Amino acid sequence: MDFIIKFAQAHETFRVAEIQALAVIEGIELEILEYNNESPLCLVKLRTEKDAEKLIRRSILAQSVHELWGMGQTLDLLHQSVKNQTSKRWRDYKTTSFKFTIDSYQGAHSNQERLSIINTFDYLPFEGPIRMSQPEETFTVFELWPFNSVPLGIETPDMLYLGRLVGKSSRETVLKFDLKKRGYISTTSMDSELALITANIALAGPGKLFYDPFVGTGSFPIACACFGAMGWGSDIDGRSIRGEGGAKSLRGNFKQYKLDSQLGDVFAADLTNTPIKTDRRIWDGIVCDPPYGVREGLRVLGLRDPQKSPWLIEQGKKDAASPDFVPPKKPYSFLAMLDDILAFAAATLVDRGRLSFWMPTANDEDQEIPVPTHPSLELVVICVQKFNKWSRRLITYSRLPDEMVSAEALTKYENRVVRRTTGTTVDDLNPFRRGYFKKFDLERQQN
């Protein structure tokens, strides 16, 4: 059966990735028939109407799914398509209550024109009552108009579809987790919509363990818990986890949403100094937004030169258990961080577990950092969120079963020259930060 998925007008490059991930979660056979980022509509093939309902029910970017009844470049061709494809099904809806709506993208009609279009479907033998509120069936005429059609005075759309509403999504969940309503956030807390989308793409679900090694105030574990997963996290700065305590803390955020039973644990650590054993494959998913090091340089726990500051080591042994203790940190290479994330994921993800993490890039080919790779991780999808001067990519990998990992590639990877940016300053150790400011300073000089 063919269906129309109606997407929200947001994050176009994430749409198909989320729908494909939801098909994996639900065990559904999905075929994308037609889609481009310029349109809110996606045509898909599914086995049954029930599959369509399951596919859409926890989507964040989709709004609804509709059984495709016909399509055409003109209204007359749409009617012909409807008659050819669905006439045998008309009797199924003969006595049900119904309504017709028109959904125009980049175009507009007057109320009189809309009513006139709806009346052209009077050949359908529907005898049930028309109900504008909560009808049993809703039929929608979708119209795709040329760009800027209203100011250009264009009078007809390029394509029309008729769809019967099958199911609605969980897009309203975005409002529930809106950061403006959350008790405890920071300047780096991930937007609730993108956190939920990330959780979907990473296949978060009931009975799964998800971990964020840069947890901050808990946006990603909360999003994963929303879909039934058990959330875990760590952060180099325990103060971001503890907050002010009570409601103003990461645990307080979980309690706010009544998800505290789905919080595993959180602790202070970083990927290079973690209590998590890397000889056990325990995580179903790892989701994170690593620090970019723009506001300040990247750091890991440790001392740049332990010989010069031995007293700090003794202080750490003495006061490490104190909630006010702030451990010393040393500079950290951006490229080393990317390598460490992939190595940790390869060592701790279960088979087909997913790693989804955000990575920045300047909008310039000369400054773009290549997507990191690991022989045990298969690249699934890259989604891009563009800003004015730079972009960030959500990169998702799947952990390959060991029997699918090339032994030769793994040996070559383990013996490679490690990508460590040399230097001592934050700019030396972070090519993104260096390019970020260098490019913008150059633009200011040119202006």
Residues 312-324 have pLDDT tens digits of: 777 777 777 777 7
Rounded Cα gap, residues 229 and 286, in angstroms: 12
pLDDT at 64: 98
d(CA 354, CA 346): 10
For the chain, the structural domain boundaries read 2-169, 174-298+333-438
Note the pLDDT of residue 295: 55
* Predicted pLDDT of residue 332: 82
Say if CB 333 and CB 369 are below 8 A apart: no
Copy the structure tokens of residue 424: 């001592």
* pLDDT exceeds 80 at position 436: no
Q: Which pLDDT belongs to residue 363?
A: 62
Res 429 pLDDT > 70 = no
Q: How far is CA 314 from CA 324, 412, 430, in A?
A: 16, 40, 30
The pLDDT, as a whole number, for residue 215 is 96
Q: What mean pLDDT, rounded, does the chain reach?
A: 89
Q: Which residue has the higher pLDDT, 382 or 429?
A: 382
Read off the pLDDT of each residue in 46-52 and give the average, rounded to a whole number.
Answer: 97
C-alpha radius of gyration, the chain, whole number = 26
Percent of the chain predicted with pLDDT > 70 = 89
Give the per-residue pLDDT at 11.
Answer: 96
Phi/psi at 192 (5° precision)? -60, -40
pLDDT in tens, 209-267: 999 999 999 999 999 999 999 999 999 988 899 999 999 999 999 999 999 999 999 99
Q: Of the ranges 69-83, 144-158, 378-392, 416-430, which one carries the lowest mean pLDDT score? A: 416-430
Confidence label for 409 from pLDDT (cuts 50, 70 and 90)? very high
Whether 195 has a pLDDT exceeding 80, the answer reads yes
Section 50-65 average pLDDT: 98
Q: So what's the pLDDT on residue 432?
A: 57
The predicted model gives 74-99 an average pLDDT of 96
Q: Quick one: average pLDDT of 17-33?
A: 98
Whole-angstrom Cα distance, residue 396 to residue 380?
5
**AA identity, residue 270:** D
Locate 48 and state its tokens.
């049954």
pLDDT at 423: 47
CATH 3.40.50.150 is right for the domain spanning 174-298+333-438: yes
Say whether pLDDT at 179 is over 70: yes
Q: What is the model's pLDDT at position 421?
A: 44
Give the residue-averaged pLDDT of 262-290: 93
Q: What is the pTM of this model?
A: 0.90
- Of 36-50, 258-272, 291-305, 333-347, the least confident: 291-305
Give the model's pLDDT for residue 159. Answer: 97
Residue-level pLDDT at 329: 81
Q: What is the assigned CATH class of domain 2-169?
A: alpha beta
Is residue 160 predicted with pLDDT exceeding 70? yes
162 pLDDT tier (thresholds 50, 70, 90): very high
Tell me the pLDDT band of 168, cut-offs 50, 70 and 90.
very high
- Segment 131-142 shows an average pLDDT of 96
Give the length of the chain: 447
Report the C-alpha gap between 421 and 335 in whole angstroms: 7
User: What are the DSSP calls for 272-293, one per residue?
Assistant: TB-SS-TTS--EEEEEE-----
Does position 7 have pLDDT exceeding 90, yes or no? Answer: yes
Kindly indicate the confidence band of residue 437, based on its pLDDT and cuts at 50, 70 and 90: low
Strands 209-212 and 283-288: parallel
* Average pLDDT estimate for 431-436: 57
